[in-house]
């Protein structure tokens, strides 16, 4: 199936649709999900050190390569550093450990997972990893406070992506305006609002689903594609994975996109302040 690509501010092309493996257990469950995704044509896998399944992601990719399903150049691998790994020198070590866990040669996109800790020191090491060819693109996740501008001012290589909650109820219009001058693009977690029925059952999605012969979820994912977001809905169910990916054979009209735009600002599903995040997550560190 032909899918769309997004050109990042560093010139690299990222598959706009991928598979996320957040909260997918390491081992056979992650390996099978990633292998199934690659077999059906999905070429972007989003993981993180905090997910504790990077080794399983790498094993699935290497299996698919060994069977001739993909080449390494076909697959885009994203992973993320945890704040306990931030700091000049410290982050360099963490990147090498990540490369060892993944065992896929290089990291296509490396993100700072959270917006606290020594993120500027970490960014310096990430830039060096790009120069060394260990990492191809770098970006950030969950930077929505003034820390975003603080990092942008310090960065020589501007973040290629910003991964945040984004869906029709929370379209991140203001945040997109803040990053527009840097060429940074939005990657969406919770692209389906965490599967919330209130979002998915919006009448506009039901109406459009009936018109195009698609599910409400497929309409939402198609909206993401057309508005320029990068998405990677999580599922381990092969049929759901196939359905999520089946969104490249139709297009929503400008008028239909405008109707969906009217839903903006209705709700976000993750409401935790920066102080609460620091308190809850600051002392936690993923295993090597």
User: What is the 8-class DSSP label of residue 17?
Assistant: B
Cα–Cα distances in angstroms (integers) from residue 162 to residues 28, 122, 159, 184, in the given order: 30, 16, 7, 7
By CB atoms closer than 10 A (0-12, 13-18, 19+), residue 185 is buried
Start-to-end C-alpha separation, the chain: 36
E runs forming strands in the chain:
5-7, 13-15, 19-20, 44-46, 76-81, 107-112, 135-141, 161-165, 185-189, 230-231
Which residue out of 35, 51, 169, 190 is catalytically annotated?
Answer: 51
**Pairing state between β 19-20 and 44-46:** parallel
Residue 136 assigned ligand-binding role: no
CB-based contact 193:187 (threshold 8 Å): no
For the sheet with 185-189, list strands across it: 19-20, 44-46, 76-81, 107-112, 135-141, 161-165, 185-189, 230-231
Phi-psi region of 91 (alpha: psi -120 to 50; beta: other; left: phi over 0): alpha
Q: In this structure, how many other beta carbons lie within 10 angstroms of the beta carbon of residue 198?
A: 11
* 86 among known catalytic residues: no
Of 3, 67, 79, which Cα lies nearest the Cα of 36? 67
**How is the chain split among helix, strand and coil, in percent rounded to 5?**
45, 15, 40
* Known binding positions: 113
* Known binding positions for substrate: 113
Looking at the annotation, which residues are catalytic?
A: 51
């Amino acid at each position: 199936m032909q899918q769309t690509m997004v050109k990042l501010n560093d010139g690299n092309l990222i598959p706009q649709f991928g598979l996320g493996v957040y909260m997918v257990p390491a081992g056979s469950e992650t390996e099978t999900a990633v292998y199934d995704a690659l077999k059906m044509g999905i070429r972007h896998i989003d993981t993180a050190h905090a997910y504790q399944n990077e080794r399983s992601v790498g094993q699935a990719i290497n299996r698919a390569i060994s069977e001739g399903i993909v080449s390494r150049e076909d697959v885009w691998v994203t992973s993320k550093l945890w704040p306990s790994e931030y700091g000049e020198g410290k982050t360099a070590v963490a990147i090498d450990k990540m490369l060892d866990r993944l065992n896929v040669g290089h990291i296509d996109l490396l993100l700072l997972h959270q917006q606290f800790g020594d993120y500027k020191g970490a960014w310096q090491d990430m830039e060096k990893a790009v120069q060394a060819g260990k990492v191809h693109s770098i970006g950030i996740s969950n930077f929505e406070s003034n820390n975003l501008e603080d990092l942008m001012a310090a960065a020589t290589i501007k973040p290629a992506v910003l991964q945040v909650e984004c869906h029709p109820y929370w379209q991140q219009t203001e945040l997109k305006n803040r990053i527009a001058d840097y060429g940074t693009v939005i990657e969406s977690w919770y692209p389906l609002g965490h599967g919330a029925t209130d979002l998915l059952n919006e009448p506009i999605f039901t109406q459009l689903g009936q018109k195009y012969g698609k599910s409400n979820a497929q309409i939402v994912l198609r909206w993401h594609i057309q508005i320029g977001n990068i998405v990677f809905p999580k599922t381990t169910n092969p049929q759901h994975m196939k359905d999520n990916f089946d969104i490249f054979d139709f297009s929503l009209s400008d008028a239909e996109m405008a109707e969906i735009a009217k839903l903006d600002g209705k709700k976000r599903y993750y409401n935790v302040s920066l102080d609460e995040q620091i308190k809850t997550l600051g002392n936690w560190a993923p295993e090597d």
